[in-house]
Amino acid sequence: MEAESPAGTRPGEPSGKSARKRLELQRDAEPGPPLAATSPLPPATACPPMAPSLDLVTHPPASTTQSPSQGQDGGTQPGTAPPGKTRRLQREDLAGLRSRLQKVTALTQLPPVPAGASSDLRNHLEQVRQLELRIREKKAGHGTTSGDTGASGDTRAAAPAAEASSEKPPAYQRFHTLAQELPPGLTLPYKFKVLAEMFRSVDTIAGMLFNRAETITFAKVKQGVQDMMRKQFEERHVGQIKAVYPTSYRLRQEKNIPTFGSGVKKSEYQLTLEPVLGEEEKVDGRPHLSASRLLERRKEFNRNLVNIVKQHHKAFLAALNPPMVVPEERLTRWHPRFNVDEVPDISPVELPQPPREDRLSTAQEVLSSARGMLPPKMEKALANLALRTAEADAGEPAVSKAPSPASTSSALKGVSQALLERIRAKEAQKLQALMTRDAGQEERLAMLGRLPAMARVLRNVFVAEKKLALPMEVVCARLADSCDMQMPPGEMEKHLRLFAELLPDWVGIHVLRTDTYIKLDKGKELGLVTERLTKAAKEAEAL
């Protein structure tokens, strides 16, 4: 019966199959619960911000294709948001990300200095800005006037040279004299020794070329000196040699000199050197530069270098407190506080230049020739440059000065000024004696310093031998074996004779035929002997 059959069955269809289809249609047709109630996920508004999907933004869902989230009939599966809602969520996420990005950007920016900030903070900020400007100017090389003065490329090229010259020299040059193994004396600075070696090399090359009757050009000498010394040799060094030894060479600018493929045109001017010799120095009727003359010229150059250092040393002594005056002919060493390596370099003399009538070389010439054609600012800059150049040419060479004497320290407060003056005068006297001491006095002082220690060894030798007199050879051999210092027998004999000179009542020297004997008074107190020897050494050191 139709009443007993399931509802919705059609006639002519199997009952089971028709019932299954009818039930599914009824289930789909029934209104389901809302999406928010059946979805196991939290609502879209409670989701955290997430990165937008580029695929969803750029590729909206098509209506013709069935997505995985849709059912067979085109509906949406539970738990999946519809396309319209997805686009709204993406717009909200983009707006949130933009706001967060603006907050981060605002945090990274430094806030401006408030108007009510303290004056100290503003002063510090101003100092930092000034330091930054100085660093930038130093890096850019703006220390010299380049644009305002209207100087040419030579002025701009002089800036790196001046900066390089102001750099601190290496330690092996600044402390050259401290590293010498030679005894202290009138040592020369490192740069002076290099210049003396350059003069020796120049003289050697010039002597060979001069004796072959060949024109001595600077190009030939430069190459030879650089090959010999492995150092750079420039015209500036020739000017320094001329300043130290003015009568060494005669310098000229000549042209039409054969160059033999050296890269210099024959018609160009070249700097030539000619040794200055006497009339008697001739071989076969023409001047000849012999080896003995080369040696004399080298010694003369070294003497001139020493005299230059003596002038700086004299200025140093005059600036001391109290000032000291030491005759130059008696000076044997420099003052202990005189830093030899800080003596300024020798200023080179001006070398002959090729004639250039059509070219302007100085600021004064430029100003004279272009007066009225230049702007007032450039004329003023050229006038200032010419004035500075004239003042630099007229100025005297710099002389090293001693540091100004420091004021009396707090530890000496309360001490009598007269006592301080006496102590300083005594110290100056000792230093003057030290600077005027010759080699013989130095050797005698060294021997006097060794006598107190040798006196004890000498007495022990005679006590061990149990004799009143011993041969000179035996005593020298015993002393050489027992003393700390290593000396040959001849040096030991000098010390024994000095003993006899200072203490004739303790040590006696007697010559019997061909033998020399030493006699010692073993009963004399050794402490008194040592005291007398120490006193003699101090007196000799004060002289």
Question: What per-residue confidence (pLDDT) applies to 43?
Answer: 43
Please give the structure tokens belonging to residue 285: 């009727």
In sequence order, what are the residues at sequence separation of 6 or more whose Cβ sits closer than 8 angstroms to the Cβ of residue 315? 399, 400, 401, 402
Question: Which ranges of the chain have pLDDT less than 50?
Answer: 1-9, 11-19, 23, 25-79, 142-165, 398, 400-407
Taking the C-alpha atoms of residue 247 and residue 228, their distance in angstroms, rounded to an integer, is: 24
Longest Cα separation, the chain: 177
Question: What per-residue confidence (pLDDT) applies to 68?
Answer: 42
Question: What per-residue confidence (pLDDT) applies to 141?
Answer: 67
Strands 270-275 and 249-254: antiparallel
Please give the structure tokens belonging to residue 536: 């003699």
Residue 218 · residue 268 · CB < 8 Å = no
Please give the structure tokens belonging to residue 230: 């492995």
SS (HEC) of 87-137: HHHHHHHHHHHHHHHHHHHHHHCCCCCCCCCCHHHHHHHHHHHHHHHHHHH
Residue 174 · residue 341 · CB < 8 Å = yes
Question: What per-residue confidence (pLDDT) applies to 347?
Answer: 93
Alpha carbon 533 to chain centroid, angstroms: 49
Question: What per-residue confidence (pLDDT) applies to 359?
Answer: 61
Taking the C-alpha atoms of residue 306 and residue 195, their distance in angstroms, rounded to an integer, is: 12
Helix (H, G, I), strand (E, B) or coil at 331: coil
Q: Which long-range contacts (CB under 8 A, 24 or more apart) does 155-162 make?
A: none
Q: What count of other Cβ atoms lies within 10 Å of the Cβ of residue 328?
A: 11
Residue 289 · residue 207 · CB < 8 Å = yes
Question: What per-residue confidence (pLDDT) applies to 36?
Answer: 41
* Cβ burial, residue 317 (10 Å; 0-12/13-18/19+): buried
Helix (H, G, I), strand (E, B) or coil at 22: helix
Taking the C-alpha atoms of residue 136 and residue 312, their distance in angstroms, rounded to an integer, is: 38
Question: What per-residue confidence (pLDDT) applies to 96?
Answer: 84
User: Among the residues of 339-471, which ranges form H helices?
Assistant: 363-369, 376-394, 417-435, 439-465
β-sheet bridge partners, residue 250 = 274
Helix (H) or strand (E) holding 158: helix 153-165
Question: What per-residue confidence (pLDDT) applies to 59?
Answer: 45
pLDDT tens by residue, 98-157: 888 888 777 665 555 555 556 777 777 787 788 888 888 887 764 444 444 444 444 444
Question: What per-residue confidence (pLDDT) applies to 67?
Answer: 43
Question: What per-residue confidence (pLDDT) applies to 182?
Answer: 53
Question: What per-residue confidence (pLDDT) applies to 171?
Answer: 83
Residue at token pair 């686009």: 87
